[in-house]
Amino acid sequence: MEPSGDTVRPPRAMLAFTRQAFLRDDVPRLAQLTTALANAASAVESDAVYALLTANPVLGDGNALFSAAHKNLMPAAVLDAQTLAAASGVLAAQVADGHVLHLAARYLLVGVALGTTARQLATTATPPDPAGSGIKAFKRGRPAAKAE
């Protein structure tokens, strides 16, 4: 994937199957190949998106994606309930065209080392399943932890 301005363009590829491959009964191997290619494409896409986010590119307005001008830049802090609440407050207070957007976090992206902490925080913030199964359900507006 190639970053281009504010977008990421996917690569284009085509896989052709020959008549001989079908006659040799190579269909299971072809299925494995397509699965491997799909997994590789997913990894490339993930890497490209994270590279774009960590590069903090300059957007069309001349400011970096994460900047004081966009009011989405916070000081580094330990991931805990207080800092997560502060970040949620900053997100909810985002303004566009003079109107407060009241945005709610949908995902909490963290590195692998913080995955358990993030899941605990996201799960604690979500009420238990009303069916009484003991499984906590993620509701709209509650962050789901993603560790990569």
pLDDT of residue 1: 46
Neighbours of 118 (CB within 10 A): 21
Residue 83 lies in a domain: yes
Phi, psi of 117, deg, nearest 5: -60, -45
Residue 4 has pLDDT above 60, yes or no: no
Q: Cα–Cα distances in Å, from 71 out to 36, 46, 49, 83, 95?
A: 41, 26, 21, 16, 9
pLDDT above 90 as % of the chain: 22
Task: State which residues form the domain around 126.
Answer: 74-147
Task: Look at 30 and 56; give whichever has higher pLDDT.
Answer: 56
Task: Note whether residue 69 is domain-resident.
Answer: no
Contacts of 52 (CB under 8 A, 6+ apart): 3, 8
Q: What are the pLDDT digits (tens) for 108-141? A: 888 889 999 999 998 886 665 566 555 555 444 4
Determine the pLDDT at residue 2.
47
Cα–Cα distances (Å) from 111 to 50, 59, 82, in that order, read 11, 25, 19
Average pLDDT score over the chain = 79
Note the pLDDT of residue 73. 87
Domain count, the chain: 2
Are residues 81 and 39 part of one domain?
no
C-beta of residue 127 within 8 angstroms of C-beta of residue 133: no
In this structure, the answer to whether residues 50 and 92 fall within a common structural domain is: no
Statement: residue 95 has pLDDT above 90? no
